[in-house]
Structures are given as C-alpha cells and as structure tokens.
C-alpha cells in the first residue's frame, strides 16, 4: 500500500498527518493561512453528495471546507 496519498482520498474520520503540499504556491499559501502545516493531523469529516466535493476537514478544533482540488494539494500519511 502507498504510504502517502492526497487528503481527498483519505477515508472518512480516519486521522492523517500532513507530510507535504503540492500544487501551486498561491494555493499552498492560502491553505497555510488557514492553519494547515506539515506535521498537523487532519481528518475528513464529511464529503459532498456530488463527486465527493467539497470535503469537511477537521484541523485541531476547526472544521474547514475544501474543494476536492484543494484537498488534493495536501499529501498525508495515515496516523
């Protein structure tokens, strides 16, 4: 099994640790502004009905909505 995968493919309510960002710089900066950082633990809480987008992602005590393309920019590993 692959060790790293994009957050968009994470299982529901399975904690995962952020290992890296991919995608363009502007998007990375915007994600970091919201508190996403390598080493942080995140967890997908819910997915939208249509095409699995957007995703509700828990980060610490916050829940942040990300579109699938945005969640794709976060590479994670299972905790």
Partner 1 sequence: MSPLDTAPPVEADEKTVALVGPPNVGKSTLFNGLTGGRAKIGNYPGVTVEFAEGQLGEARIIDLPGIASLTPRGADSRVTLDVIGGRSEALPRPDMLVIVLDAGQLRRQMPFAREVLALGIPSIVALNMSDLAMRDGFVFDTGALSTALGVPVFATTAPRKAGRTAIGEAIELGRAAISKSDLAPAKELTELAVTAEPAETKAGAADRILLHPVAGLAILTAVLFLVFQSVFAFAAWPMEQIEAGAAALAGLVEAAVPEGWLQSLLVDGIIAGVGSVVIFLPQILILFFFLLVLEMSGYMARAAFLTDELMRRAGLSGRAVIPLLSSFACAIPGMMAARTMEGERDRLVTILVAPLMTCSARLPVYAVLIAAFVPATKTGPLSTQGLVLFGLYLAAVVSGLVVALALKKFVAPGARQTLIMELPSYKWPQPQDLALGLWRRSVVFLRRAGTIIFTVSVVLWFLISYPGDTLRESFAGRLGGLIEPLFKPIGFTLEMVIALVPGLAAREVAVGALGTVYAVQNAEENEAGLAAVLQNEWSLAAALAFLAWYVFAPQCISTIAVARRETNSWKWTWFMVGYLFALAYLAAGITYWTARVFGA
Judged by the rule CB under 8 A, the positions of this chain that interact with partner 1 are 13, 27, 29-31, 33-35, 41, 43, 45-51, 53-54, 56, 58-67, 70
Four-point Cα dihedral 32, 41, 24, 9, nearest 10: -150
User: In a 3-state reduction of DSSP, which class is residue 42?
Assistant: strand
**CB of 9 within 8 A of CB of 74?**
no
Residue closer to partner 1, measured from CB, 20 or 46 = 46
Minimum CB–partner distance for residue 5 and partner 1 (Å): 20
Residue closer to partner 1, measured from CB, 2 or 18 = 18
Least Cα distance to 58 among 28, 11, 13, 18 occurs for: 13
Residue closer to partner 1, measured from CB, 19 or 56 = 56
């Amino acid at each position: 099994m692959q060790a790293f995968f994009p957050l968009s493919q994470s299982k529901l309510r399975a904690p995962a640790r952020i290992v890296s960002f991919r995608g363009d710089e502007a998007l990375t900066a915007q994600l970091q502004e919201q508190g996403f950082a390598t080493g942080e633990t995140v967890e997908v809480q819910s997915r939208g009905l249509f095409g699995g987008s957007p995703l509700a992602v828990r980060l610490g005590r916050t829940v942040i909505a990300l579109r699938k393309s945005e969640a794709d920019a976060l590479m994670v590993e299972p905790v």
